[in-house]
Each structure stands twice: as structure tokens, then as C-alpha cells.
Structure 1
Amino acid sequence: MTTATLTTKGQITIPKEIRERLMLHIGDKLDFQLTERGEVLLKPVTRRVNEVFGRLGKAGQKALTAAEMDAAIQQRIADRQA
């Protein structure tokens, strides 16, 4: 288990292992979500171009309509929140 200590100013340092795993860099924004079980989910908000490069299309792949893209995005969000 990786731990961090809360300072008197309410700040923590995210351990290096976690920063590396989440590919966090100076200036990145983080989203804290409190679950019903009282756990906190920490998610990076910002993404760099090189992290998503190549995910938008592949040679020979059928082009999607805007409606198909919206449906896929909504499904992905629902899957992540489940």
C-alpha cells in the first residue's frame, strides 16, 4: 500500500509510484470522486496529445457518424462509472 501524509494546509504529495502510473506532470489537474462506500477515486483530468495519438482512427476503419461517436462516448462513461 502506498500512503501520503496530510499537511496542516490540507495538502498531500502524491507518491512517485502513483504519479508515474497515472502519467502525472506538473500542472495536471486531478478529479476527486467520493464513492458511496466512502472511498476516494483520483482521476487525471488532463491528457496530452501523445497519450491519445492513434486512438481516433486506423487504416481501413469505418468512419463513424457524430451520433455513433456520441453513443460510444456515453457508453464508455457509463462503463467507467459502474
Structure 2
Amino acid sequence: MSTTVTAKGQVTIPKPVRDLLGIVPGSKVDFRRTPDGDVVIIRAGKAPPASRFQKLRGHAGKGLDTEAIMALTRGEP
């Protein structure tokens, strides 16, 4: 993706990049230089948004140990 720099040095961050980084109006961003000389943009002050897999992580419920979970999986009472 590319964008055009204005006379004031401003650019519009493309929507797919804003969505990926969770950037909304008022968000702060950092520009960092990588060891190979590239410059990357990151969302400042907050952890990156959870991935679709992180959203699925959790637990089976309070008080259930491995044996109880396996029994439920097998359909045992």
C-alpha cells in the first residue's frame, strides 16, 4: 500500500493498516527504525489488539479439572 505525503508532511494511514493496528481517531503512533534501515509504524501506549486466536483462549469453567473435562468430552455422566 502506498499513500501520498502532503505539503505539510502528513500522510493518511490506509484503513487496512489502521484496522490491523487498532488505530482510531486520537490514537498515538510511534515510528521506529529497524536495524536494516526501514521505518515501521506501531501503535503507541497499548498492546496490539488480540489476534483471532487469542480471543478464543479461555477455560472450560470454574472447578473443572482435567478428568472432569475428559469425562464431559466422552459423554460420561
Q: Per the shorter chain, which TM-score range?
A: 0.5 to 0.7
Alignment of 1:1-82 (within 5 A): 2-47=1-46
C-alpha distance in structure 2 between counterparts of 1:29 and 1:18, whole Å = 14
The number of aligned residues is: 52
User: Which ranges of structure 1 fall in alignment gaps of 5 or more residues?
Assistant: 53-57, 61-82
What stretches of structure 1 move > 3 A for 4+ residues in a row?
Answer: none
Question: Which has the larger helix fraction?
Answer: 1
Residue identity over aligned pairs, in percent, reads: 37
> Structure 1 length normalisation: TM-score?
0.53
User: Normalising to structure 2: TM-score of the pair?
Assistant: 0.56
Could you tell me which runs of 5 or more consecutive residues in structure 2 were left unpaired when the two chains were aligned: 51-58, 64-77
Q: For the aligned residues, what is the CA RMSD?
A: 2.5
Structure with the larger RCO, 1 or 2 (CA within 8 Å, 6+ apart) = 2
Deviations 1:19-41 (A, max 9, x none): 01111100000010012322011
